[in-house]
Amino acid sequence: MADASAVYGAVGAIGGALIGAAAAVFGPLLVQRGSSRQEKESETRSRAGEEVERIIQIRTTGRAWQDTLERAVQDLAAGRPVDIDRFDETITALEREAAAAAYAVAVDGVWVGLGPASRGYSPGMVLELLAAGTEQVRAEVLRLQNAEVSADARREACAELANAVASAKAARAQLNSRLVERIESILGDSMRRL
């Protein structure tokens, strides 16, 4: 009987050693695999957050550009002077920001467009329409401030400018709708509506 208990003790010791060795080998592997999964999930959330930030940047930059054009047209319509140097400085900065934001979202497969404007427009042509509107507004600022213009001619010129800015605004609205859909698809269930 003493021999049997020695055998049981030896089997128990060997079994314990095998279990300990398995735990020493497989435990860190399981921890590493769980850690790797958490790192991948964290990286995925980080990438999603960066993509949302890029989308927000294109939306806010386009809005600032549009607002600048609308204010200039409103000032012209009211007969108020528009400081062309300040206008140029603001627009130049916004054009740079918008181009950088457009190229940044292109990394995510969203094309906002950076080519010449054509007659019809699509959400991808927002920047072209804003640039075309900028050229028109700038030309009218120079013309209206450097010459005596009748009230009727001023109204007509401002109406044409308002139409150019409205085209960009309509394209921005379409683009913004698609960008919001993209944000919703990125954030999925984590996004709550107010």
What are the tens digits of pLDDT across the range 143-169? 887 778 788 888 898 899 899 888 888
- List, for residues 74-89, the tens digit of each pLDDT value: 999 888 889 999 999 9
pTM of the model: 0.69
Is the Cα torsion angle 149, 154, 157, 161 positive or negative in sign? positive
Using the predicted structure, report yes or no on whether residue 109 has a pLDDT greater than 80.
no
- What CA–CA distances, in Å, run from 135 to 25, 28, 43, 46, 165? 69, 64, 43, 39, 11
Please tell me the predicted confidence (pLDDT) of residue 74: 93
